[in-house]
């Protein structure tokens, strides 16, 4: 019992829930200097994160593309094309829901009030770091170097890329992830003391319910289509993937659910080789929960701050960068929103308060989005098994 308690105490969701509970109950009696100090820590951590994000994007994309030959070039290119198309299609659907339905579901005339400058909570000081590499060039460079290292068999370059990615991942996992509660606390306290977070939750309950309902409805369609492809009974299919969904929800990590996902994929496809080939690749890149919830949440926040909805071209540009950045996804708690902050700022015009609000809100729904990611990945492999079987069958007939 003590071992289980210690294990539960180490889960990120427990610490985050504890911090959110502390903030929502204690903020009326907390002294302003304490909140300013917490905000200073949060902003410093955010700036450190933004400093390292380009290196995560570069190393993640380069590692993904440099590993193509290790898994069969044609197979992995086909798989990645399917994942990119799926992510982009999901994002376009969610963008339409966000742009057209969010203003309709939001309370009429209810926008987040402007905070009196005298009551605004400000940090004690700002930690400013130089921008050594832009996110765009990190993405382009990572893809280019990854593909070149594969085509020209640059083994030393591939080894350096993977070593860099492992280092960045260790920094994220052992450096930033443990500080997530501190990262959130300052922003949440600021939003609560200024009345923005409470007002946002009260006036956007219908919109948030719409977001959750749309994700659930979308996954139900996936489930029905996958069940028809697999020919398994619906209850058996769900029973196979449930352990992976539960692990993803409680740890807020697709990576933690990987062993259960591989086991479920092997049962659902009757092909352990395919399960071991697909699941480690798709868990970081194919994120239906994120591509549905983050855009809708972004539209809710834009509407709450009386900002105009993005036009089609702007949203397509946002979508392309968002989808390509998924190649840098780490499958770790809050990883998706971390790499999305610069894109939200660049394409959708998010300011400091909006970035803080979407970060706090995303962490609240991270168990939900991770569950969506894990569910969709376990269903995607059924479609891939069906499609890849037909491709190989056609190739055999030709020969």
For 76-117, how does the pLDDT look when each residue is reduced to its tens digit (9 = 90+)?
677 778 888 888 999 998 988 888 777 776 554 455 555 555
- pLDDT score at 329: 55
pLDDT band at 57, cuts 50/70/90? Answer: confident
Q: What is the domain extent for residue 276?
A: 2-398
Average pLDDT over residues 369-390: 84
The vertex-378 CA angle with 375 and 383, nearest 5°, equals 120
pTM of the model: 0.75
Where does the pLDDT of residue 205 fall: very low under 50, low under 70, confident under 90, or very high at 90 and above?
Answer: confident
pLDDT reported for residue 216: 93
State yes or no: pLDDT of 228 exceeds 80.
Answer: yes
Is pLDDT at 264 greater than 60 in this prediction? Answer: yes
Of 349, 377, 171, nearest to 288 (Cα)?
377
Lowest mean pLDDT segment, chosen from 47-51, 236-240, 333-337, 367-371: 333-337
Domains in the chain: how many in total?
1
pLDDT > 90? residue 219: yes
Res 263 pLDDT > 60: yes
Rounded Cα distance, 159 and 143, in Å: 16
So what's the pLDDT on residue 4?
Answer: 56
Lowest mean pLDDT among 96-110, 161-175, 364-378: 96-110
At 227, which CATH number? 1.10.3860
Q: Is the pLDDT of residue 273 over 50?
A: yes
For residue 337, pLDDT over 70 is answered with yes
Q: Given a cut of 80, is residue 395 above it in pLDDT?
A: no
Q: Quick check: 111 and 305 in contact, CB under 8 A?
A: yes
Could you report the per-residue pLDDT of 187-196, keeping only the tens digit for each?
888 888 887 7
**Confidence (pLDDT) at 2:** 53
Q: Give the residue, 189 or 173, on which the prediction is more confident.
A: 189
**pLDDT mean over 274-294:** 80
Nearest to 180 by CA among 33, 337, 353, 368: 337
Distance CA(75)–CA(275), nearest Å, equals 13
CB 302 within 8 A of CB 291: no
Residue range 146-154: mean pLDDT, rounded: 80
Separation CA 35–CA 153 (nearest Å): 53
pLDDT at 293: 92
What is the average per-residue pLDDT within 183-203? 80
Give the residue with greater pLDDT, 66 vs 261. Answer: 261
Pick the range with the lowest mean pLDDT from 2-11, 30-39, 144-153, 214-223: 2-11
Q: How far apart are CA 312 and CA 217, in angstroms?
A: 24
What is the rounded average pLDDT of the residues 333-340? 75
């Amino acid at each position: 019992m003590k071992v289980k308690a210690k294990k539960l105490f180490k889960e990120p969701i427990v610490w985050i829930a504890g911090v959110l509970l502390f903030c929502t109950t204690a903020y009326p009696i907390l002294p302003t200097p304490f909140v300013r100090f917490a905000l200073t820590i949060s902003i410093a951590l955010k700036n450190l994160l933004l400093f390292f994000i380009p290196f995560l994007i570069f190393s993640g994309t380069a590692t993904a593309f440099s590993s193509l030959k290790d898994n069969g070039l044609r197979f992995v290119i086909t798989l990645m094309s399917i994942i990119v198309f799926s992510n982009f299609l999901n994002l376009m659907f969610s963008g339409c829901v966000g742009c057209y339905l969010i203003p309709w579901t939001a309370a009429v005339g209810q926008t987040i009030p402007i905070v009196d400058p005298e009551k605004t909570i400000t940090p004690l000081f700002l930690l400013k770091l130089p921008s050594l590499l832009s996110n765009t060039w990190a993405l382009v460079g990572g893809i280019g170097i990854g593909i070149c290292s594969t085509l020209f068999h640059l083994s030393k370059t591939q080894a350096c890329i993977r070593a860099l990615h492992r280092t960045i991942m260790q920094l994220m996992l052992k450096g930033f992830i443990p500080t997530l509660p501190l990262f959130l606390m300052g922003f949440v306290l600021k939003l609560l003391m200024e009345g923005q977070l409470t007002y946002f939750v009260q006036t956007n309950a219908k919109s948030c319910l719409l977001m959750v309902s749309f994700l659930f409805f979308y996954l139900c369609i996936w489930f029905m289509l996958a069940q028809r492809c697999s020919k398994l009974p619906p209850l058996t299919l769900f029973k196979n993937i449930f352990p992976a969904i539960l692990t993803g929800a409680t740890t807020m990590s697709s990576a933690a659910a990987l062993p259960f996902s591989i086991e479920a994929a092997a049962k659902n496809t009757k092909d352990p080789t395919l399960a071991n080939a697909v699941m480690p690749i798709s868990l970081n890149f194919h994120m239906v929960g994120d591509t549905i919830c983050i855009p809708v949440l972004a539209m809710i926040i834009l509407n709450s701050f009386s900002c105009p909805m993005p036009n089609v071209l702007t949203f397509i540009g946002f979508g392309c960068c968002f989808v390509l950045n998924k190649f840098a996804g780490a499958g770790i708690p809050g990883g998706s929103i971390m790499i999305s902050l610069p894109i939200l700022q660049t394409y959708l015009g998010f300011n400091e308060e909006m970035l803080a609000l979407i970060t706090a809100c995303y962490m609240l729904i991270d168990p939900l989005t991770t569950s969506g990611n894990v569910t969709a990945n376990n269903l995607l492999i059924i479609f891939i098994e069906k499609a890849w079987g037909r491709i190989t069958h056609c190739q055999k007939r030709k020969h």
